[in-house]
């Protein structure tokens, strides 16, 4: 911290998760935990997300210098005197301190499972299941951000940075943790508090060190906070409201059942299809489209531009497909019941669907190989969000419209066991909102709608061939 400062400003952020959240630990799929085994959000993780958000808002040099001054980092100061071919790099300390996040509300750790997708076939990879620990929607987190300011100018800049972060959290533009492209990490700001320590003597310093709780936080109205004018990312949201009329299935073990498989439940409540599964379908279908206009390594680069990779963030955010008004599919069978006098009577019994495994070599049944599974039908919303800087001739609008309409018309099934008719989705309209508002039928298009889609198609084609 700056030793010349005489005022310390502390802000307390109280945030609440509006989606599932994941803060990765040392092992893949595990939450980071403290010495007591409780999940924790590290301050450097919060700081990294807030820094990235600030950097994404503007490309101007003045803004970059401001981020560097308060958040720290490396700065190139020209040529090194001892080596004409090198540059002198100065490392600046951060003026801002961010505490670890204290998690309350939902400390119970939930686990979701997933299956890796083979992008060549668009289907699940054999024996490639994984598990992911997460905290559910409604999880509350509190953390402090403090800064020692040396003059009115520094104080004003810090206040503007706080206002920018607060409004970014409130609007859902700041995401925390991992799995963000799968709908994780969204929060809303529930309260912002502020307190100040003015170090004008020994008593003030002792108060800060030994009795900091005596200085109370005062609530701040975020609407009155100033923030930095910025280039905000455009969001285009694609939504299909419809129904799975014939059932949806995935091969996960049903809790409490020995050999029964089916969809997972979110937090022990309703069934859902994970966003990762939806993402795999879209990536495969998008790859097929790009292959029509590009070849070789160029295809992979185009796909990664939209979906991201280990080095760059993708432009799409997918959300879990939660089933509503759901019901389990039950099959009517007749079983023989002993009447007690040596006679057996057939009685109707409703049970889970049972399938007989087939020997693919002989085409016959495999003895003692019955497969029982839980299939669920119901209403659902399929949704994804495109984040982009481009407002005109956006190359990604056409492929997303194309894939969504095919899903809504039942041509692209979701989930598992699609070969027997499961996973078909029916929706009448695709709704597009955000950057622009539009509704498109999933079946027959008008001439005007065809012309609009043709323009999107031409933009996509030009992008593929670039």
Query: Domain check: are 75 and 12 in the same one?
Result: yes
Query: Domain check: are 164 and 262 in the same one?
Result: no
Query: Domain check: are 190 and 153 in the same one?
Result: yes
Query: Domain check: are 291 and 359 in the same one?
Result: no
Residue 182 sits at φ, ψ, to 5 deg, of: -105, 25
Q: How many domains does the chain have?
A: 3
Q: Which of 165, 195, 224 marks a domain boundary?
A: 224
Q: Which domain holds residue 364?
A: 330-372
Query: Domain check: are 63 and 148 in the same one?
Result: yes
Asked, for residue 2, whether it belongs to a domain, the answer is no
Contact (CB, 8 A) for 126 and 168: no
The span from the CA of 263 to the CA of 248, in Å, is 8
Query: Domain check: are 193 and 251 in the same one?
Result: no
Query: Domain check: are 352 and 434 in the same one?
Result: no
Asked, for residue 117, whether it belongs to a domain, the answer is yes
Asked, for residue 229, whether it belongs to a domain, the answer is no
Query: Domain check: are 293 and 411 in the same one?
Result: yes
Query: Domain check: are 335 and 320 in the same one?
Result: no
Contact (CB, 8 A) for 194 and 220: yes
DSSP string for 49-81: HHHHHHHHT---HHHHHHHHHHH-EEEEEEEET
Asked, for residue 346, whether it belongs to a domain, the answer is yes
Cα angle vertex 22, ends 258, 27, to 5°? 75
Instruction: Give, for all 466 residues of the chain, the pLDDT tens digit.
Output: 444 448 899 999 999 999 999 988 777 888 888 888 888 899 999 999 999 888 888 766 777 788 888 888 777 665 444 444 556 677 777 888 999 999 987 667 888 877 766 666 656 666 667 788 889 889 999 999 999 887 777 888 899 999 999 998 988 889 999 888 888 999 999 999 999 988 888 888 888 888 888 889 999 998 888 777 655 668 899 999 999 999 998 888 777 666 788 888 887 788 999 998 999 999 999 999 999 999 888 999 999 999 988 788 889 999 999 999 999 888 888 877 776 666 777 888 888 888 777 666 666 666 666 778 889 999 999 999 998 876 668 999 999 999 999 999 999 999 988 988 899 999 999 999 988 899 999 999 999 999 999 999 999 999 999 8
Asked, for residue 389, whether it belongs to a domain, the answer is yes
Asked, for residue 302, whether it belongs to a domain, the answer is yes
Asked, for residue 453, whether it belongs to a domain, the answer is yes
Contact (CB, 8 A) for 248 and 375: yes
Q: Which of 350, 372, 394 marks a domain boundary?
A: 372
Query: Domain check: are 263 and 297 in the same one?
Result: yes
Compute CA distances 264 → 128, 268, 427, whole Å.
17, 9, 23
The span from the CA of 219 to the CA of 196, in Å, is 13
Query: Domain check: are 360 and 317 in the same one?
Result: no
């Amino acid at each position: 911290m700056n030793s010349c400062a005489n005022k310390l400003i502390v802000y307390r952020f109280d945030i609440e998760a509006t989606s599932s959240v994941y803060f990765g630990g040392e092992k893949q799929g595990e939450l980071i935990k403290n010495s007591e085994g409780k999940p924790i959000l590290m301050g450097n993780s919060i700081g990294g997300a807030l820094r990235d958000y600030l950097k994404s808002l503007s490309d101007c040099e003045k803004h970059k210098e401001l981020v560097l001054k308060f958040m720290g980092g490396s700065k190139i100061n020209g040529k090194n005197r001892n080596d004409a071919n090198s540059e002198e790099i100065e490392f600046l300390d951060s003026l801002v301190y961010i505490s670890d996040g204290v998690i309350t509300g939902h400390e119970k750790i939930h686990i979701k499972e997933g299956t890796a997708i083979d992008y060549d076939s668009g289907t699940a990879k054999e024996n490639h299941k994984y598990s992911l620990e997460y905290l559910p929607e409604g999880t509350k987190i509190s953390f402090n951000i403090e800064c020692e300011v040396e003059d009115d100018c520094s104080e004003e800049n810090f206040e503007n940075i706080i206002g920018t972060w607060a409004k970014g959290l409130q609007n859902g533009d700041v995401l925390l943790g991992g799995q963000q492209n799968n709908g994780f990490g969204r929060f809303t700001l529930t309260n912002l508090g502020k307190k100040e320590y003015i170090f004008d003597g020994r008593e003030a310093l002792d108060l800060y060190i030994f009795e900091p709780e005596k200085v109370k936080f005062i609530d701040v109205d975020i609407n009155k906070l100033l923030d930095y004018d910025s280039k905000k990312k455009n969001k285009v949201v694609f939504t299909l409201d419809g129904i799975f009329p014939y059932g949806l299935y995935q091969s996960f073990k049903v809790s409490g059942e020995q050999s029964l498989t089916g969809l997972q439940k979110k937090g022990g409540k309703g069934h859902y299809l994970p966003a990762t599964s939806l993402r795999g379908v879209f990536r495969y279908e998008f790859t097929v489209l790009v292959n029509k206009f590009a070849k070789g390594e160029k295809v992979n680069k185009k796909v990664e531009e939209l979906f991201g990779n280990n080095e760059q963030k993708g432009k799409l955010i997918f959300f879990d497909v939660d089933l509503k008004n759901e019901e389990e599919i039950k099959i009517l069978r007749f079983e023989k019941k002993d009447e007690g006098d040596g006679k057996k009577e057939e009685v109707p019994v409703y049970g889970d669907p049972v399938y007989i495994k087939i020997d693919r070599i002989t085409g016959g049944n495999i003895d003692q190989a019955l497969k029982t599974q839980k299939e669920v039908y119901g209403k659902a919303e399929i949704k994804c969000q495109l984040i982009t800087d481009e407002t005109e001739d956006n190359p990604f609008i056409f492929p997303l419209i194309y894939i969504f309409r095919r899903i809504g018309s039942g041509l692209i099934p979701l989930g598992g066991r699609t070969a027997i008719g499961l996973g078909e989705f029916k929706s009448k309209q695709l709704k597009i909102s955000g950057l622009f508002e539009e509704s498109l039928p999933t079946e027959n298009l008008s001439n005007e709608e065809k012309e609009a889609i043709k323009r999107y198609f031409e933009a996509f084609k030009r992008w593929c061939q670039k």
